Structure 1
Amino acid sequence: MQRDYTIGTAIRMRRQALGWSLQRLIDASHIEMSTGHLATLETKDVAPSVYVADALAKGLGTTIDVLLKEAADPKGFSAPSEHAQRVPVIPWNLAAEWGRNPDPKRLPAGTAWIMPPEAPAGRTFAMTVRDEGMQAPSGISFPAGYTIFVDPGRKAVANDCIVGHLGDPAAPVFKKLTLDGSAYYLRALNPQFPMQQVGDTFEVIGVVVGVRATFDKGGVL
């Protein structure tokens, strides 16, 4: 039985409103899919799996429910902003500056914008973990290549994982803030990395509020 509409209608409208190619949407959605398959989903009466629909919705900065409503009533569609509901992936040397003054116009050319695990709050931004210091042998872990989401508006307390610097804003670190007596320390989750006591020059850039692993052909990006 032919349906009156499919979710592909809304996917196509949003993708075209953003000026994206089929491949760019696939890349933004972090899924394995050919452009031909995506084109079929957009133009034929073929329903994607829940996993694919959710990934494409997040890649477009929206949800499956919104796409279904837009597909059912195309007249209610409003063109999305490319950065709507997304957060930028900030270079480490610019994290402190962005935390103080978030201005997309000052970001490097080609900066990626991605969907956070939940709706972004305030000035939340993303960073790519660059070393093994927060890769724990068990429990919560942040391996190199994972994406962390940082909220500069949240007040850091003991046991928070934070991004901060020890005096040089261009050289931030990612550690767990630990309180021992009256002194604060920065502790890596990897026991092979030393613990550092913080001094008067220490400044918290933001508290880590989320993490995402990206897989590509069996490996973590």
Structure 2
Amino acid sequence: MDKWIELVKAKMSELNVTQVELGERVGMSQGGIGHWLNKRREPGIKEMNRVLQALGMDFLEVAMVIREPQPSADDEVPLTHKYNPYFRYPVSDWRAPCEARESEATPYAKTREAQRFELTDYHAGGAAFWLRVTGDSMTAPKGLSVPEGMLILVDPAVEAVPGKLVVAQWPDSPEAIFRKLDEEGGQRYLMPLNPTWPKALFTDDCRIIGVVVQATVRF
């Protein structure tokens, strides 16, 4: 809610739009807009999206809590992170999530012409990208579940340790896979969240492409 208010106020200032004008654009009173921007009342997702649309911005996404810890209030936060809370990352493909990032000078060069981007408030440490979940290997009957159709944000800069959700690929496989990195008896495994799927032994020739730090779905 705080980030939405910060974003709306910043955009209103940029466009020189008053609360009265914004209210007219979304079909409500200046007082109603003021209640939202001063946190006296909390708008729903539909109302928040109406305001963003009236200001020429994209719709919000609902995000699951699969996030890497962000700096606390006591930590020094970069200005770019504080005042530009939304970042955009490209949507990649399971067949080439790495190859699309071969060159640092021209990131995502192979798919740049038709590249699609998605927004998030996560500030990646590496060349992060989105993948759309396919299949039901990570659909769990209870607890954490990442079903087909969700977008997952992959950050190659995050350390892959047991307990993390990761995207990995074997050299002889045409596609990467999405699994939970786990450890049993000193041996690491790539575990599906769906118990009907088999686990896979994590070997030295299997490469971790990145750690999944966020999962989102659009409404």
Q: What are structure 1's unaligned runs of at least 5 residues?
A: 14-37, 62-83, 216-221
Q: Distance in 2 between matches of 1:213 and 1:183?
A: 33
Tell me which residue corresponds to 1:90: 92
Q: RMSD of the TM alignment (CA)?
A: 3.6
Confirm or deny that 1:114 pairs with 2:114. Answer: no
Cα offset for 1:125? 0.9
Which deviations, in whole Å up to 9, do the C-alpha atoms of 1:33-82 show, x marking residues without a partner?
Answer: xxxxx9x739x997596622357786289xxxxxxxxxxxxxxxxxxxxx
Cα offset for 1:122? 2.6
Q: Distance in 1 between matches of 2:187 and 2:202?
A: 8
Q: Number of matched residues? A: 164
* Aligned structure 1 segments of 4 or more residues deviating by more than 6 angstroms: 55-58
Give the alignment of 1:24-39 within 5 angstroms: none
Tell me which residue corresponds to 1:173: 177
Q: Distance in 1 between matches of 2:116 and 2:10?
A: 29
Q: What are structure 2's unaligned runs of at least 5 residues?
A: 1-8, 37-42, 61-85
Q: TM-score, normalised by structure 1?
A: 0.61
- The alignment-based identity, stated in percent, is 26
Q: Secondary structure at 2:109's aligned position in 1? A: helix
Q: Distance in 2 between matches of 1:92 and 1:173?
A: 8
Tell me which residue corresponds to 1:59: 58
Q: TM-score, normalised by structure 2?
A: 0.62
Give the alignment of 1:13-162 within 5 angstroms: 41=25, 51-52=48-49, 53=51, 59=58, 85-98=87-100, 101=103, 103-107=107-111, 109-162=113-166
Task: Describe the shift of the 1:12–1:93 C-alpha distance in structure 2 as closer, same or farther (beyond 3 A).
Answer: farther
Relative to its length, the structure with more helix (as a share) is 1
Q: Distance in 2 between matches of 1:168 and 1:175?
A: 18
Cα offset for 1:173? 0.4
Identify which of 189, 193, 204 aligns with 2:193.
189
Letter paired with 2:94:
W
Task: Describe the shift of the 1:58–1:152 C-alpha distance in structure 2 as closer, same or farther (beyond 3 A).
Answer: farther
